[in-house]
Chain A
Amino acid sequence: MTLLEEWTPAEVLLLTDGSRARLRPALEATLAHLLQRRVLRIEREANGEASYLRRGDAFASARTLRHEEVFLGPLRARPEVRTLLANAVQVAFERARSAKHFFRLVGHSPRLAGCFRKGFLDLFLAYPGRRSARGNELASALQRELDAVERALAEPVDAPQLSQMIERYAGHLALCGAAALLWQGAADDALFARAERRMAPDTSSGSCSGAGSSCGGDGGDELRQEFDAAADAAEASSDSGSSGCSGEGGSSGCSGCGGGD
Chain B
Amino acid sequence: MSRMLDPAAAVLWERLLRFELDDPSAALSFSDRLARENDWTKEHALRAIAEYKRFLLLLCVAGHPCTPSDAVDQVWHLHLLYTESYWRELCGEVLRRELHHGPTRGGAAEAARYGSAYEATLASYRRLFEEEPPLDLWPPARERFRAARFVRVDRSRYWCIPRFSRWFR
Interface residues, chain A, with chain B CB atoms under 8 Å away: 49-51, 74, 78, 80-84, 86-87, 90-91, 94-95, 226, 233, 238-239, 241, 243, 245, 247, 249-261
Contact = CB atoms under 8 A, between A and B. Distances in A.
A255 B110 CA distance: 10
A50 B22 CA distance: 10
A252 B77 contact: yes
Nearest first, the 7 A-B pairs at minimum CB distance are A254-B103, A256-B114, A241-B28, A256-B104, A259-B59, A261-B65, A91-B43
Nearest to A78: B50
A80 B5 CA distance: 15
B36 A238 contact: yes
Contacts of A238: 36
A118 to B, nearest CB: 33
A259 B24 contact: no
A84 B19 CA distance: 12
Contacts of B55: 259
Contact of A84 (B24, B37, B66, B83): B24
Contact of B65 (A51, A91, A260): A260
Given A84-B22, A87-B22, A261-B66, 13 more contacts: A49-B24, A51-B24, A74-B46, A80-B17, A87-B42, A94-B43, A239-B156, A255-B148, A257-B102, A258-B114, A259-B59, A259-B65, A260-B59
Given A80-B1, A87-B46, A257 B76 contact: yes
Contact of B66 (A80, A91, A243, A258): A258
5 contacts: A80-B1, A95-B43, A233-B27, A256-B145, A259-B102
B27 A257 contact: no
B31 to A, nearest CB: 6
Nearest to A91: B43
Contacts of B104: 254-258
Contacts of B36: 238, 241
B103 A257 contact: yes
B99 interface: yes
B96 interface: no
Interface string B88-112: 0000000000011111100000110
A51 B20 CA distance: 11
B128 interface: no
B102 A84 contact: no
B64 interface: yes
Contacts of A90: 42
B161 interface: no
Contacts of A253: 150
B110 A256 contact: yes
B103 A245 contact: no
B99 A258 contact: no
B103 A252 contact: yes
A250 B81 contact: yes
A224 B36 CA distance: 26
Interface in B1-44: 1, 17, 20, 22, 24-25, 27-29, 31-33, 36-37, 41-43
A110 B148 CA distance: 48
B162 interface: no
A258 B65 contact: yes
B46 A259 contact: no
A160 B16 CA distance: 41
A230 to B, nearest CB: 10
Contacts of A241: 27-28, 32, 36
